[in-house]
Amino acid sequence: MPSKRTRLIAGNWKMNNDVPAAKELAEALVEKVPASDSVEVVICPPTIDLACTSHKIAESAIKLGGQNVYWEEKGAYTGETSCGMLKSVNAEYCIIGHSERRDYFHETDEDINKKAKALMAAGITPISCCGESLEVREAGTHVAFVVDQIKKDTEGLTITDPSKYVVAYEPIWAIGTGKTATAADAQEVCGAIRATLAEIFGQETADGIRILYGGSAKPENIAGFLAEEDVDGALVGGASLKADDFAAMVEKAAE
Ligand code: PEP
């Protein structure tokens, strides 16, 4: 049965591109990324680039996302970005719980859960990341590890529109390493994620939630991941910084 879920290709620029470089990449993406009803395309630049990127993509089908958010509305939280600030630049998505934030900035599942609740209350779709380390993968406990993350990250969430909550499965050992999981590896965990979401929110809601794969995804391997039943798109790091590669990935997802 063909999936009812619209595919999603999201680019995570991480801490790359100053304002002039962001404008240049956004312009190239507007020119090269094909518009398609069957794929939603999101780019997530650094916070400093959100306003100029928003302006550049305004007339295109490309949507904007943040890379992080803080759950409080405003106040003395130096260096943080609120949901309202993301909305003011027309961001419709926001990555939360990326493994780099969990590892380097000590974000916990409790933090990620608070961020998801704040974003959803503000009408911004979280792209909530999960994934295991190499150590966990080698111990063979990766499915249980990710299921536990999903349970903690979604605790107390109400999902009324399943297209407005996205999960990204990103095995840490495959991020930025050039080492990809196999399509079967991705399906094993993405299938377990959907089953967990079904236990929590019911099958119908779980069937509407997009689950992305992330970890050295590129034009050469994306089709294999997308062929899997529970993989609905990709969260792309390195390859999202090259307009030709990112456009090629969107093209493959639209096929
Ligand atoms: C990411 O950072 O979300 C990611 C998947 O990076 P890369 O594609 O470079 O592995």
Q: Which two tokens stand for residue 93?
A: 């998505």
Give the range among 43-52, 153-162, 171-180, 190-199 with minimum mean pLDDT.
171-180
Q: Mention every residue, 6+ apart, whose C-beta is less than 8 A from residue 39.
A: 6, 7, 8, 9, 233, 250, 253, 254
> What pLDDT score does 2 carry?
46
CA 13 to ligand 1 centroid distance, Å: 9
pLDDT per position as a tens digit, 122-136: 999 999 999 999 999
Active site residue 106: no
CA 75 to ligand 1 centroid distance, Å: 32
Ligand 1 in reach of 216 Cβ (< 6 A)? yes
Instruction: Say whether pLDDT at 3 is over 90.
Output: no
pLDDT per position as a tens digit, 242-253: 999 999 999 999
Reported as a pLDDT band with limits 50, 70 and 90, residue 1 is: very low
Ligand 1 in reach of 188 Cβ (< 6 A)? no
Residue whose C-alpha is closest to residue 189's, from 146, 242, 155: 146
Q: Whose CA is nearest to atom 6 of ligand 1?
A: 237
| % pLDDT > 70, the chain | 99
> What pLDDT score does 115 carry?
98
Instruction: Say whether pLDDT at 165 is over 50.
Output: yes
Q: Which atom of ligand 1 is nearest to the CA of 177?
A: 10
| % pLDDT > 90, the chain | 95
Residue whose C-alpha is closest to residue 232's, from 2, 1, 5: 5
